[in-house]
Chain A
């Protein structure tokens, strides 16, 4: 019987057969922590008796969740991370460098075939580059820094085949929201997802990152894609390491195979307070919003900002709406300045904030007021997620968020695009 991508990558890194259900101890290619999880990991690392990081060049810390610091308490935690970075020789990406899940691939730390852990649930993002990447907590992060290894239960795989081609005005975010709605918030719990099919192949690597990013919103351990020419070209521009692409065998054993023709999908939104309560934008059009957010590890990349700018260029967002834009990295911010995108967004009324997680995690940079409605390009709309449990959060593509900011109410972007 053939093997899945997850089984092959875990076998390659553990020297064991690594069939679904096995528990293996595997060597890690890269380890990442952010400022919400690293401080606790540093405490735990010391408690373990850690005095040096096993392989400092294979790790990085990122200050992105609260960047710049909004309080003395957070500043102390950031300071602790900087001290650990200096002491251990581990690279740190400080305030303004960007969101961890943009930086790790962008800085060339991940190539196809890799095994990566990150102390952040959206580490599954790098699955778009054909890497088995999964989110863990602070103790796993500490043990990984200490040993360079982690134990894994090899997950069964659900294969998701997307046939057809997305219609004009419909984005990767709409596709993944549709999939979350179909599969459910716990539909792939403990499993790896393999996304395949021509609709995936047609997407840019940036758009594929958006899809893999939300694998965890279906409960999955990883969201994997095969590497193609686009992947290899993307990685070659960023990393000197040799990719080891891994394909699923034709006779691989899957827990489940789902097939969708995605040609007729409309733009979608997830409605409060569940990420798997997904409806076509048209079903909630006209709902008033007070805040709109473009950014995050899901949709803060250049093509997302460009999508928004195409809708907003030369116009002005509705009165009474705040539009917050957080590019996913400094490089993206620079690129978006260079091509005029940032100028268009700011001229249209956007408030530009530091590259980072921004308002997505509810600590700063735009906490909504009681009773307000927000539309965001993020990946979670849990009650209280943005710092106020009396606010409502809708999730959509950058185009949908921009169109909604323009009209002051939730709007299908196809109404305003390319006019």
Chain B
């Protein structure tokens, strides 16, 4: 992955375990429109009503186990992107959310990052998996498999498919 593009830095928003897609964007909103900017105004509304006033472009979501569990709604990673979130670091992810994040170009890293509070600074290197807090504490995540990095590097599955005219590994396993 492009080295500069792989490095992210932002303030964190900390969430706990089992943050489901209804909490990220409630079902009652997601069915109403395809306009993600409108939907993004309701991100985390039921569990953190202040989030949308607090969030700044480039911020990073840090969470516990099973982030994004629940429905398959792709609006979940999309509203995070439209709210300005640059990456999600969680102890673990629900698998559909994880796929959807990669497919929509939202970087996700699996790593237990604990002891942070809202507003703390965090740096993330997607290519190496290195994560560092503003106070110097470090964590090491497993880097993403090559196929996922490629899709992320291309900005999501749409630009990836347009670039390759397909998945880009039709002939066999990715890398």
Task: Please judge, given known A-B contacts A139-B104, A189-B92, A219-B69, whether A23 and B27 are in contact too, CB under 8 Å.
Answer: no
Q: Are B96 and A48 in contact (CB under 8 A)?
A: no
User: Which one of B2-10, B16-24, B81-89, B115-123 contacts A?
Assistant: B16-24
Q: Are A363 and B27 in contact (CB under 8 A)?
A: yes
- Would you call B172 an interface residue if the criterion is a C-beta within 8 Å of the partner chain's C-beta atoms? yes
User: How many Å lie between the Cα of A383 and that of B27 in the bound state?
Assistant: 11
Q: Are B73 and A36 in contact (CB under 8 A)?
A: yes
- Identify which of A16, A73, A139, A384 contacts B100 (C-beta below 8 A): A139
User: How many Å lie between the Cα of A40 and that of B141 in the bound state?
Assistant: 31
User: How many Å lie between the Cα of A24 and that of B169 in the bound state?
Assistant: 9
Q: Are A143 and B34 in contact (CB under 8 A)?
A: no
Q: How many Cβ-Cβ contacts under 8 Å join chain A to chain B?
A: 154
Contacts of B31 in A (CB 8 A): 35-36, 65-66, 73-74, 77, 361, 363
- Would you call B65 an interface residue if the criterion is a C-beta within 8 Å of the partner chain's C-beta atoms? yes
Interface centre among A25, A71, A383 (most CB of B within 10 A): A25
- Would you call A319 an interface residue if the criterion is a C-beta within 8 Å of the partner chain's C-beta atoms? no
Q: Are A49 and B162 in contact (CB under 8 A)?
A: yes
| Interface positions of A from 133 to 168, Cβ below 8 Å from B | 135-140, 142-143, 146-147, 149, 151, 153
Q: Are B75 and A73 in contact (CB under 8 A)?
A: no
Contacts of A361 in B (CB 8 A): 27, 31, 71
- Would you call A226 an interface residue if the criterion is a C-beta within 8 Å of the partner chain's C-beta atoms? no
Task: Please judge, given known A-B contacts A49-B162, A382-B23, whether A120 and B72 are in contact too, CB under 8 Å.
Answer: yes
Contacts of A279 in B (CB 8 A): none
A143-B167, A189-B95, A363-B31 given. 5 additional CB < 8 A pairs? A25-B167, A121-B70, A135-B72, A139-B104, A219-B95
Task: Please judge, given known A-B contacts A149-B167, A389-B46, whether A137 and B147 are in contact too, CB under 8 Å.
Answer: no
Contacts of A143 in B (CB 8 A): 103, 157, 161, 167
Complex interface bits, B147-159 against A, C-beta within 8 A gives 1, otherwise 0: 1000000001110
A220 — nearest CB in chain B belongs to which residue?
A: B95
- Would you call B32 an interface residue if the criterion is a C-beta within 8 Å of the partner chain's C-beta atoms? yes
Q: Are A36 and B30 in contact (CB under 8 A)?
A: yes
A42 — nearest CB in chain B belongs to which residue?
A: B34
